[in-house]
Structures are given as structure tokens and as C-alpha cells.
Amino acid sequence: MTERAEQGGPETASPSRSGARQASPGRVRLKRAGLLLLRTFGSLAVTFLGLLIITFLIGRVLPIDPVLAAVGDRAPADVYDRVYHEMGLHLPLYQQFFDYVVKIFQGDFGTSVLTSRPVLDDIVRVFPATLELATIATILGVLLGVPMGVLAAVHRGRWPDHCVRVLGLFGYSLPVFWLGLVGLLLFYMKLDWVGGPGRLDAAMEDFFEPVTGLILVDALLQGDMEVFWNAVSHITLPAALLAYFSLAYIARMTRSFMLEQLAQEYVLTARVKGVSEARVIWRHALGNVMVPLITVIALSYAHLLEGSVLTETVFAWPGLGSYITSSLLNADMNAVLGGTIIVGGVFIGINLLSDLLYRLFDPRARR
Amino acid sequence: MNKPMTGTATAPQGLRGWLRTDTPQSRFQARMGRLWFGWLTFRRNRLAMLGLSIVLLLCAVALFAPLLAPYNPVQGVLNDRLQAGSAAHWFGTDNMGRDILSRLIYGARYTLMVVVLVAITAAPIGLLVGTVAGYFGGWVDTALMRVTDIFLAFPKLILALAFVAALGPGLENAVLAIALTSWPPYARLARAETLTVRKADYIAAARLQGLSHARLIVGHIMPMCTSSLIVRVTLDMAGIILTAAGLGFLGLGAQPPLPEWGAMISEGRQFLLNQWWVATVPGLAIFVVSLGFNLLGDGLRDVLDPRAGGNG
């Protein structure tokens, strides 16, 4: 999708205006866009390879004895030898790495010791829960954080600015897992306003048949409003918590971008022309801020997919984060490294996407 | 040009006059004088002073923990378990009958230890990688920055988790894992600073005098990077504390009998409903200390690195 979008501009523009004269600069631009795309994907590939090197080192080289970790210390010598050869540990390191990369690309992340199922299947099963949480949190964070940042920049040095500053400072200083516990104590145990840990009440979980894994979507599709509202009450607290951290970051960045734009001369020009203040702020200045803001939002989204490790643990949210932690506590290395690769891959992918979106939306970056 | 300046500036004699002179006699005096003026700017910022006091308080508490703590932090009296705050136990006791205040006081040691260890391992690694990459340029730069980008492209906590999983849980391994994941931003920063001074005349002069690459980097480039690096490290310390506490909370950092704050929250979780103080009080300690480092870092940035948008 991004590929078409990248190349679409010059391609459609030049032939329609017609003429061989126009075609050649168009082709140069097309070539440049292609080169750019190639370079972006090249660096993406190198980064992903680096990720695999790290997980490979962690999985195969750092532990004192990976065989012992797999068979346990009471295994007889012949079992040990068999597993040693099965794991390919007699091969040279570079060959082991090559086999590892091939397996990863075939989608073979090994088998989880804990669930005795392929790690990839497990991850596919738990990922929607994380995705649901992070997406709602990001939407909330953007809807609240951007206006707050704008207001802080416009009323610089007065109370909206101080509010945003304090919110940001708290966001950078509060332990997320602690805030989650306090939230549970207050809003679930004492006030009973929201649902407790988990995605649904235990009684409902047994009867509910997931389709996409996104419970809110599934419930709506099946028209089951009881399940839907139950899921909403469960997701409110963790989503609000994550949204707070993403809001603090987005508001802070929006504020500093806006300050930069409001000091520009075009803002002065617009004001002199008699454009209303609201239009200057929300249309002219914010319009220019939106482009760098895309990167910030993407980064915060990617961080939510990561930062939710602690949140998911606190709220017993059966997502990728709790999967990685519970595997970790059970010394299930395949699952941990598989999860790491997926999270790292998602992280890299979101970065790439934000890079491409940036190029797409900012006419200056296209040149 | 000297006369009118000294007329106003040297009114107070002694140490202050020595610091404020505009004709320093030695390099040391000039440096101290600069520090003094930096301190004067810093002192005006009340929030930064609050941050500094919090950090100093943390250091003092960690240093004098055995004198300050009223009870043994590891051994409790089981008869007194899960008591609410009282005159004898200000913050109550936990499920083993241990005094929470005493555990908090000893926990300050682990928090400070993590912060200091990560700072003295990650910052030099980043500094070295960044200056070498920026100084030599070319393929050295490309290779080193590629490695940096790979580490940077990683979610930090997940990478730390994976390291701890391989190395085994424990405070030392948690420190190692955090250090391994937190050097890349410092490398980026040091490289950027190096690039701005690399072509400077004083570097060329030093090179013409026959200075080796190593001495040039260590003696003439690294000092130019330190002030922005100090600011960045201070601002990162809150994040380091939160990550360490998070690892402790997940049971991968300091192990149970140790009074580490994150682990204390985790232990208090099961008593959240009826004995809320067991889990919440250590969280407040983490919050206050992180806030202190953040305020201090903001203040330091205003003094040392005014370019970086002081009002943020």
C-alpha cells in the first residue's frame, strides 16, 4: 500500500499533463523514490537481522548450557547427546545462526515448553488482546493529548501550560505498575466502578466464542451487548492508564512543535491578514505540526505495545506482555525470544510506517 | 577593560571573590568560577533545588541506612504482621512483620546502586562509541551507528527482559541488562556533539602538534560532550529507576528478602484490598525519587545546555 502511495504521485502526474518533455523529470523522480524505498527497506532488513543476531546470542550463546535447560539436569548422557545434536550445537556458530534465521522466516519459533504448542500459534492467540488495549489507549491519548498540547502552547506560561507540564512530569516519574495497582484498589475494589483484572468476567469468558480475538469487535459483530459492556468495563482502567502515559508524551511534544510553529512568520502574516485566531491555531499552525506529530504518535503506539508488559501483568490481561513474562518466569526461552522478535518486528515496522507516512504527508520531505 | 568590572565584582573578598574574579590565575580557578556561576543560575530555579534536595536526601538515607532504620529490614516479628501505620511503625508492617519504613530506608541503597552502576557503565560506553564514530567517520561511523540503531530499534524493557532471562534473575543482572539497553541514546548524542567540533581549529592544531587519535578523542573531544551527556543521564535516571523497579516487580530484579522497592510492591500485591499500605508506600518512594531526578535534570539542562529548549 505504501509502495503505491510513494510512487503514485509522480507516475500519475506526468503522463496526464502529457508530453515527452514531462516524462523524463518524472522518471527521475520515480527512480529517486524507488531508490529511497529500496534504502528504507534495506535498513529495515539490516535492523531486523541485528535483532535476530541479538536473540540468537541470548538464546544459544549466553546460557551456560542450552541443552541442560531443555532436558533438565537429571537426563542420562545419551539423551543429552541426542538433544545436543538435534539442536545443532555441534555445528559451527555461523551455520547455527543461518539455520536459525531460515527457521524464523519459515515462521518456526520453536515450541513453547509451557503450553507445548508452537510459539507462533501462541503469539497469534494472545496478540489481539495487546493490540486492542494499545489501540484504544493511543486513540484516547491522541484525542486528549493533541488539544492539550496546543492549548499549553497557546497559553504559554499560564495555567494550561503548567497543567500539561505537571502531567508530563508525573507521567515520567510514576511507576506504571504501581499506578495500575492503586487504580484497581480505588476504582475496582473500593468503588466498584470498573471491571477487575482480565478481559471479561470469569463467568462470561466460558461462553464467549472469539472470532478476531478483539473482544469489543467480536461482541459487536455477534450483537451481544452484555458481553460488549462487560468488556468495556474491564478495558477502561488499563486503557485509561496507558492512555495517560501516551497523553503525557504526546501533549509535551505537541506543545513544543506548536511553539516552534507559532513563532514563524506565516502565523504573523495570517494574523495581519485578519484570519481568525482559532483558524490560525487549529488550521495553519496545527496543520504544519501534524506531520512531525505522526512520528511521535507512531513511536508512542510502538512503546505501548512494549510498555504494556507491566500493565498486562497488573491487570492479568492475557496479551503478549503477560505471555512473555509468564514464559520468562518458567524459563521458557523459545517463547520469550519469539515474543521478543515479534515485538521488535512490530516496533521496526511501525517506525518504517511512520517514516513512509511522513514522506507521504510532507511535500518537503518528498524532494 | 578590567577596571570597571572589578570595581563591582570584587566587593566580597575571600572565597567568593576568588570565584568571581574575571582574571583567574589558574585553569582550576577558572573552572571553579564557571561552576559557581552555573550554581547561581541553578539556585534560582526552585523546582530544580527541590529535585536536588530529594536526590541528596536519597544519598544521605542510603549512606546512613543502618543508623536511620529503626528495625531490621530483613527479619521481622511475625506477631506484628500487616499492622497499619502507628507510632512504632510509621508506615506499618508487611506480611512478614517487617517494618516498612526500615525496608524503604535500606531500599534506597539498592535504588541508588542501580542508578549509579547503570550511569557509570552505560554513559562511558555510549561516549566511547559516539565519539569514535563521529571522529573517524566513514565506514567506522556507519558500522557503529548501525549497531546503535539496532539497539535503539528495540523496545527497551523487552530487551532487558530477554537479557535477564538468559543471565538469570538478580539485581546485578538487572543492572547489566538495563546498562546494555540504555547506552545507544548516549552514543547518538556524543556523536552529534563530536560532529560539531570535529572540524574545529583547535582540533586541527592539536593534531598538527602530533597528538595521537586516542589522546585527541579522550582529551579534546570527550570533554566537549560531557555537559550534554550529564544532562541526558540525569534525565534518564528516573527511567532507569522505573525500569529497575519494573524488573523487581516482575520478580526478575532483586530477589525477595532484599528490600528493593519494586519487589516490595510485588510482595504487597496480595494484601492490596485490606492492607493497602504494603504495596502503595514503596510506590510513593519510587515516585518521589524519580520526580527528584526529573526536576534535577530539567534544572541542569537549563544551566548546562540552554540550547535544548529550556522551557520544556
Q: How do residues A52-71 score in pLDDT, each as one tens digit?
A: 888 888 776 665 566 666 66
Distance of alpha carbon A340 from alpha carbon A325, whole angstroms: 11
Q: Do A331 and B165 touch (CB under 8 A)?
A: yes
| Local confidence band at A128 (pLDDT 50, 70, 90 cut-offs) | confident
Query: In chain B, what is the straight-line distance between the N-terminal and C-terminal CA atoms, in Å?
Result: 38
Distance of alpha carbon B205 from alpha carbon B201, whole angstroms: 6
Instruction: Indicate whether A192 belongs to any domain.
Output: yes
Judge whether residue A31 has pLDDT over 90: no
**Which grid coordinates belong to B109?**
541503597
Strand segments (E) across B98-250:
none
Q: What is the mean pLDDT of residues A121-149?
A: 89
- Chain B: give the shortest CA distance to residue A112, in Å: 15
Q: What is the mean pLDDT of residues B175-202?
A: 88
Percent of chain B residues past pLDDT 90, beyond the cut: 10
Instruction: Indicate whether A216 belongs to any domain.
Output: yes
- Chain A: give the shortest CA distance to residue B53, in Å: 16
Between residues 127 and 166 of chain B, which touch chain A (CB distance below 8 Å)?
146-147, 149-150, 153-159, 161-166
pLDDT for A20 equals 43
- Chain A: give the shortest CA distance to residue B167, in Å: 7
B295 touching A (Cβ < 8 Å)? yes
Cβ–Cβ < 8 Å for B303, B310 = no
pLDDT for A137 equals 92
Instruction: Indicate whether A60 belongs to any domain.
Output: no
What is this model's ipTM?
0.81
Bridge partners (DSSP) listed for residue B93: B99
Q: Which residues of A touch B252 (CB under 8 A)?
A: 328-329
Give the three-class secondary structure for A92: coil
Instruction: Indicate whether A79 belongs to any domain.
Output: no
pLDDT for B92 equals 78
Mean per-residue pLDDT of chain A: 79
Q: Which of A177, A242, A252 to mutate to test the interface with B (most CBs of B within 10 A)?
A: A177
Distance of alpha carbon B242 from alpha carbon B225, whole angstroms: 26
Phi, psi of B14 (to 5 degrees): 75, -145
pLDDT for B289 equals 93
A235 touching B (Cβ < 8 Å)? no
Judge whether residue A83 has pLDDT over 70: yes
pLDDT for B132 equals 92
Which CATH number do you get for residue A342? 1.10.3720.10
Distance of alpha carbon A199 from alpha carbon A128, whole angstroms: 11
Q: What's the pTM value of the predicted model, to 2 decimals?
A: 0.82
Domain count, chain A: 1
Buried b (16+ CB within 10 A) or exposed e, A301-334: bbbbbbbbbbbbbbbebbbbbbbbbbbbeeebbb
- Out of A32-46, A135-149, A246-260, A261-275, least confident range: A32-46
pLDDT for B87 equals 73
- pLDDT: which is higher, B63 or A109: B63
Distance of alpha carbon A57 from alpha carbon A337, whole angstroms: 10
A136 touching B (Cβ < 8 Å)? no
Buried b (16+ CB within 10 A) or exposed e, B149-172: bbbbbbbbbbbbbbbbbbbebbbe
Instruction: Indicate whether A43 belongs to any domain.
Output: no
Distance of alpha carbon B210 from alpha carbon B188, whole angstroms: 28
pLDDT for A143 equals 93
Phi, psi of A118 (to 5 degrees): -60, 140
- Of residues A182, A341, A149, the one with CA closest to residue A253: A149
Q: Do B161 and A169 touch (CB under 8 A)?
A: no
- Chain B: give the shortest CA distance to residue A16, in Å: 41
Q: Which of A261, A310, A327, A347 to mutate to test the interface with B (most CBs of B within 10 A)?
A: A310
Between residues 82 and 111 of chain B, which touch chain A (CB distance below 8 Å)?
none
The tens digit of pLDDT for each residue in B81-103 reads 777 777 777 777 877 778 888 88
Judge whether residue A86 has pLDDT over 70: yes
Which residue has cell 503548567?
Answer: A162
Q: Do B245 and A175 touch (CB under 8 A)?
A: yes
Q: Which domain holds residue A288?
A: 119-365
